[in-house]
Amino acid sequence: MINMIFLGPPGAGKGTQSANIIKDFGVVQISTGDILRAAVNEGTEFGLMAKKYMDEGKLVPDDVIIGIVKDRLMADDCKNGFILDGFPRTIPQAVALDSMVKESLKTEITHIVSLEVPDEDILKRLTGRRTCENCKKGFHIEYAPSKKGDVCDECGGKLVQRDDDKEETIKKRLNVYHEQTSKLKDYYEKSGKLFVVDGTGTPDDIYNNIKEILS
Ligand code: AMP
């Protein structure tokens, strides 16, 4: 059973590698960023509130995000294992997760994988990142361009840039990461379940390292 936390700065490749893990290990991915973006697209009151924080590169308040994750983790499909991608991001979120997992789910976190990439690489990766509006396939204008130019080469959908993937916002998100989220490594160090993975190689090499840790 794999109940994993994926740590690492925005753009480290957590989403890409989660897709590989899902295929091989049959777990579900819980991405708090994806959940928030879905609410923003639906235009709910909650989505509008979250968007203000996201567009500024700030974190959505802890109590809000903790409530969302708790509801999601209680769903039946999490019983076969999960990957938390983008949560926890603060110490209070990590403390809340500990009690959710222990008291409500009666299980435990099995792996904490920290995917590490330097800031300069993150900036290059995120400013060039594009996503198909329709099928959500990911592209990069330089490293992984669509074969069909500015539309998706699988479904023909429009390729869009995330609102928070603008250079100024990326720098703010990286600051938040260094000030708050990177402290989680210390928090989990004592658990003996923390694994650090170099996120700068090829996606296949990185995945091989992760697979070894999880197998
Ligand atoms: P991500 O796709 O993980 O980079 O998340 C995009 C944005 O959603 C972040 O910059 C935050 O504004 C918000 N967000 C996602 N996860 C969290 C979290 N665990 N705590 C607070 N805010 C979050």
The domain spans of the chain are 2-27+80-117+168-214
Catalytic one of 58, 124, 162, 211: 162
Q: Is 89 in the pocket of ligand 1 (CB under 6 A)?
A: yes
The DSSP call for residue 74 is T
- pLDDT reported for residue 44: 92
- Which DSSP string do the residues of 142-160 spell out, in sequence order? TTB--TTTTB-TTT-PBEE
**For residue 112, what are its two tokens?**
């904490």
Average model confidence (pLDDT) for the chain? 95
- pLDDT reported for residue 177: 96
The pLDDT of residue 35 is above 90:
yes
Distance CA 5, CA 62 (A): 17
Q: What homologous superfamily does CATH list for 2-27+80-117+168-214?
A: P-loop containing nucleotide triphosphate hydrolases (3.40.50.300)
Q: Whose CA is nearest to atom 19 of ligand 1?
A: 87
- Give 136's pLDDT tier (boundaries 50, 70, 90): confident
Active site residue 125: no
The pLDDT of residue 1 is above 90:
yes
* Ligand 1 center from residue 33 Cα (angstroms): 5
**What does the pLDDT average to over 43-62?**
94
Per-residue pLDDT tens over the stretch 68-108: 999 999 999 999 999 999 999 999 999 999 999 999 999 99
